[in-house]
């Protein structure tokens, strides 16, 4: 019985599904436009978390948005944007979704998971 429970736990962890103790804090959709692909110094961003972070900074800090962008309360806080890389490492993004996001010109849905309002993981989906 112990081995079955351990196997089930390992399968859940490998699947990228947030642990049961985590809850969905918030979801939002964002269109990844050209402005989201470059940082404030004009350098091209190459990682999904960098682009998502820039998108939210553009939306919340710089007032740059695109049709289809939705407000979110979580990444309005710069400290929460700063932990986006770790949150994505703890979460899940399909490789094809990561490529589409880095290419830009696509809409993504971001699910934010955590405990007690503290973000711990992201799951990213690309609308096709």
Q: What is the pLDDT along the chain (128 residues), one digit of tens a residue?
A: 544 333 333 334 444 554 457 999 999 999 999 999 999 999 999 999 999 999 999 999 999 999 999 999 999 999 999 999 999 999 999 999 999 999 999 999 999 999 998 999 999 999 87
Q: Find the angle CA(89)-CA(22)-CA(116) to the nearest 5 degrees.
A: 105
How many residues in the chain?
Answer: 128
pTM: 0.82
* 3-state DSSP helix/strand/coil % of the chain, to nearest 5: 40, 25, 35
Q: Find the angle CA(60)-CA(94)-CA(100) to the nearest 5 degrees.
A: 60
């Amino acid at each position: 019985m112990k081995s079955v429970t351990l196997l089930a736990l390992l399968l859940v962890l490998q699947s990228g599904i947030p642990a049961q103790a985590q809850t969905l804090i918030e979801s939002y959709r964002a269109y990844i436009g050209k402005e989201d692909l470059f940082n404030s110094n004009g350098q091209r961003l190459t990682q999904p978390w960098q682009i998502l972070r820039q998108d939210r900074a553009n939306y919340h800090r710089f007032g740059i948005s695109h049709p289809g962008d939705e407000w979110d309360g979580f990444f309005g806080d710069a400290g929460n944007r700063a932990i986006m890389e770790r949150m994505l490492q703890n979460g899940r993004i399909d490789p094809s979704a990561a490529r589409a996001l880095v290419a830009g010109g696509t809409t993504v849905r971001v699910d934010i998971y955590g405990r007690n309002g503290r973000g711990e993981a992201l799951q990213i989906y690309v609308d096709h």
